[in-house]
A and B are shown apart, each in its own frame.
Chain A
Amino acid sequence: MSMMHAAQVGAAPSTAHLMRWVIVATLPGIAAMTFYFGLGVISNVLLAGLFALGAEALIVALRQRPVRPALRDSSALLTGVLLGASLPPASPWWLIAVGVMAAVVVAKQLYGGLGHNPFNPAMVGYALLLVSLPTYMTLWSPPQALTAESLFNQTLWAQIIGSLPPATLDALSGATPLDAFKHKGEAVLASEFWASQPLPEGTLSAWRNVAFAWLIGGLVLIAKRIISWHIPIAMLGSMMLLATLFYASDPSHFASPLFHLLTGATLFGAFFIATDPVSAATSQRGKLIYGAGIGALVMIIRTFGGYPDAVAFAVLLMNLCVPLLDIYTVPRPSGHANTATHSAPKEPL
């Protein structure tokens, strides 16, 4: 048995360490979202995290497993944070609770707990909410100044009482850039759409800056070797490739690659969602295919499908392919060369 293990060196972090680092890396993104979309983002994340810990404790206790280690590994907390960050700001508390239950209880623990879930738990929760409660899930407020008035009168109160008066709903709801572009209508050319200034002031730049914040967090994760570059690069690469192809074929109807890159959940998904090790492919070749598949599905659903953003569905669909990918991307071990004979060393000795 090997005696030197990771803990004594501090080089290789523990599972809990990994999870906490991912949570830390979400902070720039969450901060940027809070800056542009209000404190409802933070309350979302806090509520979701809290619910997730509670749900995990409950279900682990029901499964008669030790509760403390399960909470301590921070995986449930991370699921909550990721789900909370993807919900529209100041979603009603019960909406968050339903999403968290689906994520932690159904998608994770009912499949056997940490390490055994075939699907990304946060995305299962998100997809469930998106399919069953589309009105609530599209309530993205336009960028607004952080004022006490807007905070209490509108968002947090609505979150606490769990429902919104119709007037507030109207005032709050706004289309995301992806949403607006998707529903611009066939006849409207892209240039006409942009010329009509369809979005409230600053919406595009807000989404762009949020995307950059997620990118910063993602780069931190790669630099800390918490995630490998394979999945994000493959996903973004295939997205950009497809987006460029579409755009080049008909720039008047398709959005530019940069638009796809900097709006919606593209960068958040690439660095924080697709890279979930449990539900992703394991070999390096497998990861490249997995990431590329997600990117392609995102582009296809965004362009031809019924949903403006598609990261959750793309990730879940590729989760389905993982067992197959794992079988067909087994690397060839050393010493199993195609040719049994050795070649003479090419470098002069």
Chain B
Amino acid sequence: MPAFEFPGGIYPPERKARSNQSKLQVAALPAQVTLPLKQHAGNAATPCVAMGDSVKVGSLIAQRDGMISAPLHASVSGTVTQISNTAITIESDGLDNWQRLPPLDWRAASPATLLERLDSSGLTGLGGAGFPTYIKAQVAEHHAIDTLVVNAAECEPYITADDLTLRSYPADVLEGAQLIARLCGVQTIVIGIEDNKPEAISALEHALPQAQHPAAIVLKVIETRYPSGGERQLIKKVLNRDVPSGGLPADVGTLCHNPGTLLAALHAVRDGKPLVERIVTLTGEAVSTPGNYWVRLGTSVASLLDGVGLMPGQLHQVIVGGPMMGTPLATLDTPVTKTTNCLIAATLAELPPAPIESPCIRCSACESVCPAQLLPQQLHWYARAENDSTLETLNLFDCIECGACSFVCPSFIPLVKDYRLAKQRIRMKQIETAKSDHAKHRFEFRQARLAREDAEKQARRQARLAQTQKPSTSTAGDHATPEVDLRSLRIAQTAAKAAVKKAEKVLARAAEQDPKQRFDDLETQLATAQENLKAAEARLASARENAIQKDTP
């Protein structure tokens, strides 16, 4: 048992029994799927099919755009009927014809081949953020990773998708973990799982002896407490490592994946199956046959819930994800995406709206449950007062938005909503500042370019003048060339050189820290420095020319 604790945490009612009683099932093949182009962090994918194209399951229909992005594959066979800016719609022919990639043996394949496969399979994290899996694997190139943490905590109420994944495919999940371990050079795999999933735990225990190398696997059963499934909280709990603020698990030698992602990774490599379906928990009091289902991506929520006996009269709201961090759906005409792990069709009695907010009485209940050890009530006051600088001193951006504070607040203050609004406001401000800075830097660059051109023109003129004056050296050309201080020009040139070096260094460091970002602004600043250097060099050269001429009459 783990000896480490993350601070805070709450014990919300689990409500998992509704969906974890039945075996994993397969949802009916949808007649039509709508596949959003952006189902992951980063840029939306770019369509690469045309209207009317016929596709098979697994056909590539959109390519990734930029570093953080993922390609998209058809999840049913049939005809492409619509391509919009945001989604591709495919009408199913009901045949379910597959097009797979060639199977790979992950033990034999090179890391580059494996990375390429994860990328081309459109694999993203199947938890919440939807971070492309191959990027996570690439992190190993910059960081020494020694431990892969399998995040099987699944701490949110209602959700049992990972539970059923582990119960149904324990050996495959472990093999998927070994695959990622080999790819990233990980020596140890630690599975963190809450103790409210005894069947998944025993399934894993049975599968463990057969799990082949390269990495040793440790099963850690942890106490059921929300939010132990938060990446930072789980890493603290099973490894006692503190992921630094603003940092990544990789900074403490750790990589985190959930079981669904590992299973999908194995399917992509071993079976050549792109990411076209996932396991989704369908639950809530308003459906009659709750459970976990293999669902094709792009299936509409409405048809999916109809398939499990939705009682429209009872339905109050549908929540995507868990009740703590999920979002209510405005319309059921929404497709299942790579990050949809749970749909809760809740009745009014089940998840009633929060009572009317009353004033904060500073009871600090929020503070005692905050897993990030922030001061939620102070953040609340400063967020309402829009005191952004204090919010940043109080580390607003360390908030993981787990909702534990809102959950215990006796005044029913929607704390997390306040923080999200404040974060958004601060981000907008930062973008505005960056924009105006960039505009300023572009102006400076233009000035520098003009100055450089001017200096070069001067130099050329000087050279021409010297040429014409050469034959008649005795006629005093002193007044034609003004006295120039060579020494100060040399100093200016050295300073410009240093400025260029510094700008280069800043850009390189920024790019190293955050390889996926664009650095237009820093590049402009570097170009400005380079222009300044050129100008200084031109001035110095022409002045030297002058001086030589004067010295050699």
Contact = CB atoms under 8 A, between A and B. Distances in A.
Contacts of B243: 335
B364 A283 contact: yes
A283 B375 CA distance: 8
Interface string A1-21: 111111111011111011000
Considering residues A1, A334, A343, which has the most beta carbons from chain B within 10 angstroms of its beta carbon? A334
A335 B242 contact: yes
B313 interface: no
Given A282-B364, A347-B240, A342 B252 contact: yes
A349 B187 CA distance: 12
B477 interface: no
Nearest to B416: A2
A306 interface: no
Nearest to A335: B245
Interface residues of A, number: 47
A334 B371 contact: yes
Interface residues of B, number: 72
Given A4-B12, A331-B373, A333-B245, A69 B240 contact: no
Given A115-B362, A283-B367, A14 B406 contact: no
B372 A334 contact: yes
A278 B417 CA distance: 23
A73 interface: yes
A5 B361 contact: no
B239 to A, nearest CB: 5
A179 interface: no
A14 B365 CA distance: 11
A12 B365 contact: yes
A219 to B, nearest CB: 19
A4 B377 CA distance: 19
Contacts of B411: 14-15, 115
Contacts of A326: 378
B157 interface: yes
B324 A2 contact: yes
Given A12-B407, A18-B363, A335-B244, A7 B355 contact: yes
A330 B394 contact: yes
A299 B519 CA distance: 63
B373 A5 contact: no
Q: Looking at chain A's contact residues, is the secondary structure mostly helix, strand, loop, or mixed? A: loop
B377 A282 contact: yes
A277 interface: yes
Interface string B437-448: 000000000000
Interface stretch (B3-11, B105-113, B424-432, B523-531): B3-11
Given A283-B375, A333-B395, A334-B398, A278 B361 contact: yes
Contacts of A12: 365, 407-410
A333 B398 CA distance: 8
B247 A335 contact: yes
Contacts of B378: 282, 326, 330
Nearest to B369: A12
B364 A277 contact: yes
B382 to A, nearest CB: 12
A282 B367 contact: yes
Contacts of B241: 342-343, 345
A189 interface: no
Nearest to A11: B11
Contact of B375 (A2, A9, A18, A282): A282
B413 to A, nearest CB: 10
A192 B459 CA distance: 108
Nearest to A327: B378
A63 interface: no
A333 B373 contact: yes
B11 A5 contact: no
B244 A337 contact: yes
B128 interface: no
Given A3-B323, A6-B409, A336-B395, A114 B354 contact: no
Contacts of B355: 5, 7, 14
Interface in B47-61: none
Contacts of A114: 358-359, 361
A336 B324 contact: no
Contacts of B288: none
Contacts of A336: 244-245, 395, 398
B146 to A, nearest CB: 9
Nearest to A73: B358
A273 interface: no
A346 B240 CA distance: 8
Given A14-B355, A349-B190, A334 B373 contact: yes
B96 to A, nearest CB: 36
Given A283-B367, A347-B3, A2 B252 contact: no
A271 to B, nearest CB: 15
Interface in B332-374: 346, 350-352, 354-356, 358-365, 367-368, 371-374
Nearest to A69: B358
B403 to A, nearest CB: 3
A78 to B, nearest CB: 11
Contacts of A18: 361, 363, 410
Contacts of B417: 1
13 contacts: A2-B414, A3-B326, A3-B328, A4-B407, A7-B355, A7-B412, A8-B350, A15-B411, A69-B356, A113-B359, A115-B360, A277-B363, A334-B242
4 interchain residue pairs of minimum CB distance: A2-B403, A115-B359, A335-B245, A342-B252
Interface of A: 1-9, 11-15, 17-18, 69, 73, 75, 113-116, 228, 277-278, 280, 282-284, 287, 326, 330-337, 340, 342-343, 345-347, 349
Given A114-B361, A330-B394, 5 more contacts: A1-B416, A5-B406, A12-B409, A334-B7, A347-B2
